[in-house]
Amino acid sequence: MWNVKCQGASIPALGFGTFELAVEDAARMVEHALQAGYRHIDTAQIYGNEQGVGEALAHAPFRREEIFLTTKVWIDAMRSGKLEASVEASLEKLQTDYVDLLLLHWPNPKVDFQAMFDALNTVKEQGLARHIGVSNYPSDWLARAQEASRAPLVTNQIEYHPFLAQNTLFPALREADMVLTAYCPLAQGRVFENDTLKAIGEKHGKNPGQIALRWLIQQDGVVAIPRSSREANASANIEIFDFELSEGEMKQITALADPNGRVINPEGLAPEWD
């Protein structure tokens, strides 16, 4: 596995996501993911499983600095004072003194924007987070965030997979020297039904999910964080570093983008997307 380097951060190109995993399942699957070779673990306050992730990390036969750990601040904790307290609570659950990456989970138009980023930077300056960033920020919010943050923002974690193009946001991230962290990289299983991905997979002896993940990480500045509740699937997802897609295959997959390809679009949370 290789790392994507940006703004002083070195992020493993493939991470293990824990969205929708209960505490016990998160503990089980993170333990398995680490055994399978993952060194990048992604969680969030709203997932309700930081305790399970922390239990797995505490029992892992690895030094803390060998694991890149991300968590995300939920919208109800983005006010100054509350944000800092929420991070301390997350660290207690995660059984660690710091996270490698701390993200604001969704845009929150109901809080003071500058104060929110001041609090995020304070957490970093206190050593509770080594790097900071955002999640689900469209390009206009991203530009405001860059202006508001004293420290560089390392990533924007957004939905990205073969069926959803990010033709506006991806170039904006590259210009800002930020990583695109792709969540929902398998489009919640839709990739396994696609004939193009199946055909390319047959050429390489890989399944469509592995092809989709390879397509993502083979792009400069992209990290992917697939989630699975099954050990076999998590092990399969990391088996993508022993082959390479051709330029033609990359273009074939890029052409699968659909204007209606977005999967995650929660009412009341989602901003106006690019």
Give residue-wise pLDDT tens across range 191-236: 999 999 999 999 999 999 999 999 999 999 999 999 999 999 999 9
**What pLDDT sits at residue 19?**
97
- Percentage above 70 pLDDT, the chain: 100
**What pLDDT sits at residue 194?**
98
Tell me the C-alpha to C-alpha distance, in Å, between residue 64 and each of 100, 181, 202.
10, 22, 38
Q: 152, 150, 158, 156: which is closest to 173 by C-alpha?
A: 156
Cβ(257)–Cβ(58) below 8 Å: no
- What CATH architecture applies to the domain 11-254? Alpha-Beta Barrel (3.20)
Q: Beta 9-12 vs 3-6: how paired, if at all?
A: antiparallel
Distance CA 32, CA 27 (A): 9
The residues near 179 (Cβ < 8 Å, ≥ 6 apart) are: 4, 6, 9, 11, 154, 155, 156, 173, 221, 222, 223
**What pLDDT sits at residue 103?**
98
Tell me the per-residue pLDDT of 227-268, one tens digit each, with 9 for 90 and over: 999 999 999 999 999 999 999 999 999 999 999 999 999 999
Distance CA 229, CA 103 (A): 23
Q: How confident is the model at residue 1 (pLDDT cuts 50, 70, 90)?
A: confident
**What pLDDT sits at residue 43?**
98
* CA dihedral angle for residue 142, residue 148, residue 151, residue 156, rounded to 10 degrees: -20
Tell me the per-residue pLDDT of 66-82, one tens digit each, with 9 for 90 and over: 999 999 999 999 999 99
Cβ(154)–Cβ(101) below 8 Å: yes
Tell me the per-residue pLDDT of 108-140, one tens digit each, with 9 for 90 and over: 999 999 999 999 999 999 999 999 999 999 999
Distance CA 120, CA 124 (A): 7
- Could you give the angle at the alpha carbon of 230 between the alpha carbons of 226 and 233, nearest 5°? 55
**What pLDDT sits at residue 184?**
98
* Average pLDDT for the chain: 97
Domain residue spans of the chain: 11-254
Q: How confident is the model at residue 98 (pLDDT cuts 50, 70, 90)?
A: very high
- Percentage above 90 pLDDT, the chain: 99
Active site residue ranges? 47
**What pLDDT sits at residue 28?**
98
The mean per-residue pLDDT over the stretch 131-157 comes to 98
